[in-house]
Homo-oligomer: A and B are copies of this chain.
Amino acid sequence: MADVKLSTQPYKGTRDFYPGDMRIQKWIFDQMRAVVEGYAYEPYDGPMLEPFELYAAKSGEELVNQQLYWMMDRGERKLAVRPEMTPTLARMVAGKIQELPRPIRWYSTPNLWRYERPQRGRLREHWQLNVDVLGGDPLLADAEILSVALSIMKRFQGEHLVQVRVNNRRLMDHFFMGLGLSAEVALKVTKALDARAKIGEEKYATWLAELGITASQREQMEGFFQSSFEQIELKFACEGTRELRALFSLLEESGFSKNQVVFDAQVLRGLDYYTGTVFEMYDTSPENNRAMFGGGRYDNLVGLFGKEKLPGVGFGMGDVTLRNFLETHGLLPSLGGGVDVLVALPKSEWRVHSETIAHQLRVAGMKVMTPLSIEGFGPQLKIASRHGARYAVLFGDAEWAEKKLIIKDLAAGVQEVVAAADLPAWFASRKVTNP
């Protein structure tokens, strides 16, 4: 049909997961799921396309105007490919707010899309673990969410390589108000600060100047950012500093060191809906010093859908930065392949025997391939090793006549003859099971 050949490349900034990558991906998310399910978080999911308005309401200008993938459907409804999960979560919680038992502890593993210039650690799509608590005492919830995030890093044996940097939006509001900024300008300054590391000092300064920030205001900001939490507590005492102090105490009580969880006034998060605690997790190693993921408290999001407010806190942990982190630090295990054993098919009239053997091993939980061609021992062994099988089960006329089978251990390079009836027991005793 087509004379011009189609490209084999995926769309720019996206990934194909071939089986080897897919296994790593699955392993990563299995670890995360094990931790959050241990904390009794329940899985949920929503559609990948959502009404555009869902993000227009509270996600922030940059995301909506510059990063959203959107389209009109054939009925002229404006749809967005979801760029983040929290609005879907808030919509779903609001939809059943009367019946859901509280506190609501939910997690999800959505695929999310943003139009960005692809670079290391930043693609146009990524998979993300989203973990949220809604309801309950806000401080206990904030502390739990940070514990869950750190427990995940612990599961990956990387908790000593990361640091959680915490700030509070209420403290920032208090500070900006004292500086004489209106709420509107303060929000814009927040954006500039959030982008600062990415855009560089020069552009940051121009941005602030455009917002009408004076030299004196800028100086006060720098002073603020360089202050310790104790200095800020004294000078800017408010609800925000009290929340931070209480949160730090809870986390210390839980055994997290003062170096693992620190105050950082420059952590702001780009999303408009955060209202209290905000945080980011950093890889502290010099070669990879960067924010891996973050989250925060949003007290007004559920209220957008109805009368009832329900405060929440959560974080999103993306697979791209996390996998970079695990690779950089050698924390990915070597995972087994997709084939435990090949059962040979030496003659077409023995196909049923071959299938019966394969069936017995499958029932025992093994991954069993049969060749899709009739071939001799040599070619079949070649197929088995090319697919990374650990074992091959072979038989020819002589073996079949005596109801025996040859088991070849392809890793060790040795073989053994066993009675056909003893085959499942042979493998069971060697614990060859699915990884």
A contact residues vs B (CB 8 Å cutoff): 1-2, 5-12, 14-19, 22-23, 25-26, 37-51, 53-54, 57-58, 66, 69-71, 73-74, 77, 79, 81, 91-92, 94-96, 101, 103, 105-106, 111, 113, 115, 125, 133, 135-137, 140-141, 144, 250, 253-254, 304-306, 337-340, 351-352, 355, 362, 365-374, 383, 386-387, 434
Known: A23-B43, A101-B387. 7 other contacts (CB 8 A): A5-B304, A8-B91, A11-B79, A19-B43, A74-B115, A136-B371, A253-B352
Given A47-B16, A94-B8, A111-B48, residue A368 in contact with residue B71 (CB < 8 A): no
Q: Which residues of chain B come closer than 8 Å to A365, judged between CB atoms?
A: 38
A37, A74, A94, A383, most chain B CB atoms within 10 A: A37
Given known A141-B372, A368-B39, A387-B40, contact A46–B16 (CB-CB < 8 A): yes
Q: How many copies are assembled?
A: 2
Are B1 and A338 interface neighbours, CB within 8 A?
no
Whether B362 and A113, one on each chain, are in contact in the complex, defined by CB atoms closer than 8 angstroms, is no
Residues of B with C-beta under 8 A to A125: 47-49
Contact status A115-B372, CB under 8 Å: no
A337 to chain B: which residues have CB within 8 Å?
42
Neighbouring B residues of A9 by C-beta, 8 Å: 95
20 pairs from A and B in contact (CB 8 Å cutoff)? A5-B305, A5-B306, A8-B95, A11-B77, A11-B79, A14-B47, A16-B44, A22-B45, A38-B368, A40-B369, A42-B337, A49-B125, A66-B74, A70-B71, A74-B115, A101-B383, A101-B386, A105-B338, A137-B374, A140-B372
A60 to nearest B CB, angstroms? 11
Shortest A306–chain B CB gap in Å is 6
Give A398 to B47 CA distance when docked, in angstroms: 50
> B40–A6 contact, CB under 8 A?
no
**A305 cross-chain contacts in B, Cβ below 8 A:** 5-8
Cα–Cα distance between A137 and B375 once the two chains are bound (Å):
12
Q: Are B69 and A73 in contact (CB under 8 A)?
A: yes
Task: Decide if A71 touches B69 in the complex (CB within 8 Å).
Answer: yes
If the complex has contacts A253-B352, A304-B6, A383-B101, are A372 and B434 also in contact, measured as CB distance less than 8 A?
A: no
